[in-house]
Chain A
């Protein structure tokens, strides 16, 4: 069974802090990964894709370590609006292309 595991948190950080989340995935054949953001009782929204070489989008940096099968998300200079649950996602390499979600890591940014 293909799984994605995350520390559920919560991570409570002050505004301006740098915070990092990790997740691990079980399927060594997986090719595509994403970070989604989910606000309370709302739909998941794509934050960023995760590329093998690592990638950055503004204050957000994603890294992939295939040897250890873990993915990370770094948020720099955190804002109050970053408060949400961050979902680590494995896109199953299959005709259907389903998304396998971790349980999410809750982030709370305080003033």
Chain B
């Protein structure tokens, strides 16, 4: 069964450092997303990406964050100058034609710990 894969599974970084979280969406999917979940809290939308551009971003997704699809398979989330409150599980998701019509598949997540 095709799946969304994320690397690394766990990333520890020092406050102020930059991190790049990587995702390989399912190959025929066109819509890509990043979500985050702070421990004990709800899953929160960060950004959606379609046709090589951001289609929507939340108020969380400020200038500290950026996304990129550098080639035909990877989808990355860059967090600059990390803060303690960026510690969370970050989930990448993809769907074939938008989650309203088809299932959104989630990767297993990257646990980011900022120390």
List A residues at the B interface (Cβ < 8 Å).
Answer: 31-32, 34, 38, 41-46, 87, 91, 93-104
Contact = CB atoms under 8 A, between A and B. Distances in A.
Contacts of A34: 99
Which of B35, B42, B44, B98 neighbours the largest number of chain A CB atoms within 10 Å of its CB? B42
Interface in B23-44: 31, 33, 35, 41-44
B43 A101 contact: yes
A55 B39 CA distance: 32
Interface stretch (B13-21, B63-71, B73-81, B100-108): B100-108
A44 B106 contact: yes
Contacts of B89: 41
Contacts of B106: 43-45
Interface centre among B48, B107, B111 (most CB of A within 10 A): B48
A96 B100 contact: no
B55 interface: yes
Given A95-B55, A96-B55, A32 B100 contact: yes
Nearest to A100: B45
Contact of B109 (A32, A43, A93, A94): A43
Given A43-B106, A98-B45, A91 B99 contact: yes
B42 A103 contact: yes
A44 B89 CA distance: 12
Contact of A97 (B58, B98, B111): B98
A17 B114 CA distance: 42
A79 to B, nearest CB: 22
B43 A87 contact: yes
Contacts of A97: 31, 48, 95, 98-100
A91 B108 contact: no
Contact of B56 (A42, A43, A98): A98
B108 A43 contact: yes
